[in-house]
Structure formats: C-alpha cells, structure tokens
A and B are shown apart, each in its own frame.
Chain A
Amino acid sequence: MEAATHAEHHHGPPTANVSSRVEAQFLGMLLFIISEVMLFGAFFTAYFFIRVVADSGWFPIEGVDLPKAIAGVNTAILVSSSFTMHWALEGARNENRNALKVGLLTTALLGLTFLTIQVNEYVHIGFAPHDNAQGTIFYGLTGLHGAHVFVGLTLLTFATVRAFRGHFTAKEHRGVEVPGIYWHFVDVMWIVVYSSVYLL
C-alpha cells in the first residue's frame, strides 16, 4: 500500500542533483566558451610567433595584400548581427514576438552573408594555406572563426524555427539566450582576429 502511494507521486527518473548555483545550460555554455578561448589562444600564439620570426614579415608578401576594406564591411555585418540578436532577445523578454522572430531571422541572414563573403574572399585572395606560414595561419585563424560562425548559425536556425513555432516566453527564453551568448562570443573573437590579422 505504501509502495503504491510512493509510486503515484514519483513518475519518471529521479530529479537531477543540482550542485552549482549556475543553471546547467549556462554552465555548459560557460565551460564550452572557456575551452574555445583556449583553442583560439593556441591559434593566436602560432600567429604571433609567425609574425615575429618570419623574415618576409606579415602581409603584404610577394605583392599579395589582405582585402582590409572587404573584411571591414564583413566586420560591420557581423557586429550588426549582434545588435539584431540583442534586439531579438529584448523582444522575447518583452513578449514582442515580431521583434523576436524578425531579430533572429535577420541575425541568421547577416551571419550567412558574413560566411558567404568570407568564402568569396578565400576564392579571390590569391594565396593558399600551403604557400607559406602566413597563409597557413591566415586560413587557420579565419577558418577557425568561420567554423564557429557556422556553429552559431546552426544554433540560430534552431532558435529561429522554434520562435516561428511559437516557443519562448518572457520568462522562458533560454533557447535564445544561450545561443545569443555564443553569438556575441563569436563576434568578440572576430574583432580580435580582424584587428590583429588584417589591420595591425
């Protein structure tokens, strides 16, 4: 009798133990981003090493210069996408579903535009990763970042589809907030990559 009563009140698996003050979703993204910072750190170490020791210096090398202006426009596009991401989340917080949907869709489209321009840059840039150490680390750093934009776009696609299906409320919008944190991280990394690789 007692066992039957007990079974009535405990359906499914037992509640997970919570040992941190941080929510599991945020803790997961926190640990992931910390590991990402270390990964980018390794690539930046290689970049600065090559920059210091290369006899031929950084770009331009053998008449090849980096397309700073196009990359600058691309930077503006990516920074804009962080603003639209923030706008989308403000929409979710204020129960403004149109702002949420349009904001997420615009962010995804701006991210896609960024990637398209970067691929176009690779096609026309005039050197390959195996040409020299500068080329290797240029493609390595920008390609690593591009891969992160692709991952961010995947997360944004999920969030956008969910938003159009009526998910997310003012109280429950972690499915937008966690990809938003990741998207801003990707943007911060691009500012550092663009400043150090293209401009300095």
Chain B
Amino acid sequence: MLNPLRSEQEAFRFLLYVIVVAAVVLGVVFAVRAIT
C-alpha cells in the first residue's frame, strides 16, 4: 500500500497520483459545465 510519509519516493509517487486525479476531476467538471 502506498504510504506517502514513509519515504520520499512514495511521497513523489503520491504527488504524481494527485496530479492525475486533479486533472481528471477538472476535466470532468469542465466537460459537465460545457455541456450544461
């Protein structure tokens, strides 16, 4: 299991996950706003 507080490598990987999740969430929100 990913524990971002255990090592820098895992914290960096967690950051990459957050960037991807944020991009997906923003994409969905903007797409819904554009449609409605």
Which A residues are within 8 Å of any B CB, using their own CB? 26, 29-30, 33, 79, 82, 85-86, 89, 176-177, 180-181, 184-185, 187-188, 191-192, 195, 199-200
Contact = CB atoms under 8 A, between A and B. Distances in A.
Given A26-B5, A29-B5, A184 B11 contact: yes
Interface residues of B, number: 16
A184 B8 CA distance: 8
30 contacts: A26-B5, A29-B5, A30-B5, A79-B19, A82-B12, A82-B15, A85-B12, A86-B8, A89-B8, A176-B8, A177-B7, A181-B5, A181-B8, A181-B11, A184-B4, A184-B8, A184-B11, A184-B14, A187-B15, A188-B4, A188-B14, A188-B18, A191-B18, A191-B19, A191-B22, A192-B18, A192-B22, A195-B25, A195-B26, A199-B26
Contacts of A26: 5-6
Nearest to A31: B5
Contacts of B15: 79, 82, 184, 187-188, 191
Nearest to A195: B22
B22 A86 contact: no
Contacts of B14: 184, 188
Given A187-B15, A188-B15, A195-B22, A200 B8 contact: no
Contacts of A180: 8, 11-12
